[in-house]
Amino acid sequence: MTDAAHFRHWPPRTAHRLTLPRTNVFHNAEVSAARYPDKPFIVFYDSVLTFAGFKAEAEALAGYLQHVCGVKAGDRVLLDMQNSPQWVLAFYAILRANAVVVPVNPMNRSDELRHYVDDTGATTAFVAQDLLEQMLPLHREHGDRGLQHLIVATYSDHLTRPTDLRVPDFVAAPRNVPATPGVVAWTDARAAGHAPGPLTAGPDDPCVMPYTSGTTGAPKGCVHTHRSVMSTLVGGVVWFGRSQDSVYLSPLPFFHVTGMSGSMNGPLYAGATVVVLARWDRDVAVRCIERYRVDTWQSITAMMVDFLANPDLAKHDLSSLQVTRGGGAAMPEAVARRLKELVGLDYVEGYGMSETMAATHLNPPQRAKPQCLGIPVFDVDARIVDPDTLHELPQGESGEIVVHGPQVMRGYWNNPEATAAAFVEIGGKRFLRTGDLARVDADGYFFMTDRLKRMINASGYKVWPAEVEALMYRHPAIQEACVIAARDEKRGETVKALVVLREGHAATEEEIAAWCHQHMAVYKAPRIVKFVAALPKSGSGKVMWRELQDAEGRRSDLESNEIQR
């Protein structure tokens, strides 16, 4: 960025540059275990896992990956669980085996998971007991090729102390792992006693490969190195002034880069404690904040809205909170004001992508602006350009955000065409095209104005219409489908599908919606299905989704005006 106005409001007593460790991310676990061996790292419904215990268990699992599963350096290993101690342990076990973590959304169904297995070439997966039903059909589906080994975690194995907190049924469930060749219970893998080989992966080796979608149907793997992962985990700790005595509430899903970096990897690096929730529960959250003196909480808008709607909130002591932060969707002004009145804190918003391992922009904690993406963080060059000419635009004009920085991915896994399309060279630097439109104010703060790319934001989850459409075309009654965003009071946006039926096929809108819920993650599945005679097409035969999206917006505006009258 040629204008450094944002440095005027930089977090006080914080350097503008950030020197990153040139180590494997697993080394952070070794350091914290050496410094704070008996200190709680993870608190899970009042059960505690210390830093030393964490390191030892992760190393035992890494040894099993190498000696039994045959995982080698650079191999991709799937991780499919809800938030839990086992999620964090599996993540670091994979890194300790010099392999690459492929985090999977636990809402994904078998048809979606198949793409991850096939695209990554993974032969091994960590999967939770409650999700095993969706993963089992892929196990040895192609004989001695494909997914060969499943390590099955039972969350209750890490419930080691009694609790008065409400524990979800799927967390409390006893161990029930099928006796199937190639399927092993987590506890047996841990107890096998295999020691891992040397830690050899360096800062420029692949570390994590989160998947994202886009204008094409199939999700793409974002290849992140240990260096790019280290960038946002260290940066978040420094930006918000966290330390080894910080206590984080971690309800955000770890499979998503926001929760992974800010609520898991960052605290481990700092030696801080994380209070992990497997599923969002506002009553459990407020009791944990009070009980463990939580000072840092990363959330999404939907969580905060639900939290502040708790009628018993005033009965609890929330005075320990120092930082409330998040992103994914703009925080409504009224909700932010209620938070400020209740605990005296601003909701600090940020901006990032799977391609950037979370934040490239954050609001300064001492001068946060509402409904704002923030300012570029350490060593990030972010610019606003004309999306057609790629020429930089002056302050105040809306254009596409492009970013250059240490957290930007290397590229998309095995997809050189998509990688080439995602990057552009400006002034000798390689910039990532975000596909998001924004403007910059006089203080250097970025504000989102629109989307260049086709995407639906449902409760902070990104839904890519092309991916949903590709899955819908598997239904024998669907001739054509176009997926658009519909306004939703609770989710912000929800998924709507306009469907043309095949001639001679009978189906109802309700049946199509139910089929979608069976074959794709619940947040992707269209909540609204509407049959239409035809979809508008361009001269080249492409469905004119923008025209349909604009018509939906006008319809929503009319309905809103009618309600106000």
Q: What is the per-residue pLDDT for 1? A: 47
pLDDT in tens, 490-505: 778 999 999 999 888 8
Contact (Cβ atoms closer than 8 angstroms) between residue 124 and residue 65: yes
Which string of DSSP letters, residue by residue, matches 195-242?
A: PP------TTSEEE--EE--SSSS-EEEEEEHHHHHHHHHHHHHHTT-
Lowest mean pLDDT among 57-61, 182-186, 558-562: 558-562
Q: Which two tokens stand for residue 522?
A: 């619940």
Where do the domains of the chain lie, and which CATH numbers do they carry? 50-201 (3.40.50.980), 379-451 (2.30.38.10), 456-564 (3.30.300.30)
Distances (CA, A) of 292 to 99, 178, 301, 392: 34, 37, 23, 48
Given a contact cutoff of 8 angstroms between Cβ atoms, the answer to whether 373 and 349 are in contact is yes
Query: pTM for the complete prediction?
Result: 0.87
Q: Would you list the DSSP string of 343-392?
A: HS--EEEEEEEGGGTEEEEE--GGG--TT--BEE-TT-EEEEE-TTT-PB
Report whether 28 contacts 268 (CB < 8 A).
yes
For residues 216 and 45, the model is more confident at: 45
- Helix, strand, or coil here: 368? coil
Residue 2 pLDDT grade (very low, low, confident, very high; cuts 50, 70, 90): very low
Contact by Cβ (8 Å): 468, 524: yes
From the list 227, 178, 163, the residue with the least C-alpha distance to 406 is 227
Q: Half-sphere exposure of residue 28, counting CA atoms within 13 Å on the CB side?
A: 30
- Residue 331: pLDDT band by 50, 70, 90 thresholds? confident
**Phi, psi at 351, each rounded to 5°:** -145, 135
Q: pLDDT, tens digit, for every residue of 45-104?
A: 999 999 999 999 999 999 999 999 999 999 999 999 999 999 999 999 999 999 999 999
Residue 460 has pLDDT above 80, yes or no: no
Of 493, 9, 447, 92, the C-alpha closest to 265 is 92
What's the half-sphere exposure (Cβ side, CA atoms, 13 Å) at 68? Answer: 23
What mean pLDDT is reported for the chain? 93
| pLDDT over 80 at 312, yes or no | yes
492-501/528-531 β-pairing: parallel
User: Which two tokens mark 565?
Assistant: 């009258």
End-to-end alpha carbon distance in the chain: 46
Q: What angle do CA 401, 257, 228 make, to 5 degrees?
A: 75
Q: How far apart are CA 87 and CA 90, in angstroms?
A: 5
Q: Cα(314)–Cα(445) distance, rounded to whole angstroms?
A: 34
Asked if residue 244 lies in contact with residue 36, where contact means CB atoms within 8 angstroms, the answer is yes
Cα separation, 550 vs 399, whole angstroms: 20
Each residue's pLDDT tens digit, 399-454 = 999 999 999 999 999 999 999 999 999 999 999 999 998 999 999 999 988 777 77
User: Rounded to whole angstroms, how far apart are CA atoms 383 and 183?
Assistant: 49
Amino acid at 105: N
Q: Measured at the alpha carbon of residue 558, what is the angle toward residues 554 and 563, in degrees to the nearest 5?
A: 145
